[in-house]
Structure formats: C-alpha cells, structure tokens
Amino acid sequence: MKKLVGIISACLMLCTAAFAEGYFSAEDQEKGTITEDKAVEDGFVLHATTEKYMNITKKPLHKAANGEEFNMALQLQGSGNATSRSVSFPAKAGETITVWGNSTSKTDMRSIVVIGPDGKSVAELSMDKDVNGEGGLASEGSVKVSVDGTYTVFSKKSGINIYKINVGK
C-alpha cells in the first residue's frame, strides 16, 4: 500500500511539474491601485510602478463566450512593457495562453502584446472595444507557446481591462 501511495504521489508531482498551468483572475483580487510588483497565485506577477500604476476595479458584468462572468478587471491604465503595466507568468511548451478583456475605448480595438522568454513578441491579441462601457461580451485571445519560460502580456497602446489570463493545455 505504501508503495502504491508513493507511486501515485510521484506521478502527481511529475504531472504538475510537466505543465505550468495556472491562471490570474481579477475576480480573486482586492480592489485598489497597484504601484509596485505584486506576486499573485500560480506564479503570476503584476508589474507596476508609482508612475505606471494599474488598478483592480469593479466593472459592469462582462461574459465570455464560454459563459464565464467577470465583474472585476485589472485596468492596465495605458501602454506597458516587460517591467510596468504588465503581467508575467510561467508557461510550458505546448500550453495555450488565453486572455479575456476589452479595450477601454468605446470606439477602438486595442492589442495585448505577448512576449516570450527571449523578450520578443510571440503574438498580438485583439481586444474589442467596450461599446457602451456598460458590460457585454468579453474579448478572448489565445496563443499556443512553443518554449518553456516566463511570458509577459501588456497593452501595445492605451488602456485595456484584463479580466482573466489562463495558461493550460
């Protein structure tokens, strides 16, 4: 029996180590302003400074195509880079990064840049405009990654609300 428990435990640890699966959800955060790097669950880190801060705030209800509902958002407050107004997290080769969010503009779509471990862009995910600012459909963008490492997402230009980021198979 001890041997079986040991084998099962070893398998679980190996399976967990093989994938960096995890998520960040604004729903799990307290409202407020972020002015410095903040580690959250599953290896996700919110990057901000006093000059390039972000906010966690309550928003009108937005729904994902899969039915998930969002009432809280990480407001990027403008364009970012790898060290500010961004979110970094681990991902393994073959996993998919999915971001749910919206442009803060009522008229313009905006892009979330995804950079890989080498600091180069691996994708730009379009976030649709929030037409009336009163809720609606959350945009969803995904990219499958080809190498293990730390990935970072940020707005290419102007404000975006991020509701959730998921890393998984």
CB 32 within 8 A of CB 79: no
* Domain 21-168 in CATH 2.60.120.260: yes
Looking only at the bridges linking them, the beta strands covering 121-127 and 45-47 are: unpaired
Q: Map out the domains of the chain as residue ranges.
A: 21-168
Give the per-residue pLDDT at 133.
64
Q: How confident is the model at residue 13 (pLDDT cuts 50, 70, 90)?
A: very low
**Mean pLDDT throughout 61-86?**
96
**Mean pLDDT throughout 104-128?**
96
- What average pLDDT is seen over the chain? 89
Mind listing the pLDDT tens digit for each residue in 136-146? 899 999 999 99
Q: How far apart are CA 138 and CA 106, in angstroms?
A: 13
Give the per-residue pLDDT at 5.
36
Q: How is residue 147 annotated by DSSP?
A: S
Give the per-residue pLDDT at 9.
38
Of residues 129 and 3, the one with the higher pLDDT is: 129
Give the per-residue pLDDT at 159.
94
What is the model's pTM? Answer: 0.87
Q: How is residue 28 annotated by DSSP?
A: G
Of residues 77 and 20, the one with the higher pLDDT is: 77
Give the per-residue pLDDT at 131.
72
State what percent of residues in the chain have pLDDT above 70.
86
Q: How confident is the model at residue 3 (pLDDT cuts 50, 70, 90)?
A: low
Looking only at the bridges linking them, the beta strands covering 54-63 and 136-137 are: parallel
Q: How is residue 84 annotated by DSSP?
A: B
Give the per-residue pLDDT at 130.
84
Cβ atoms within 10 Å, residue 144? 14
Helix locations, the chain, DSSP H: 2-18
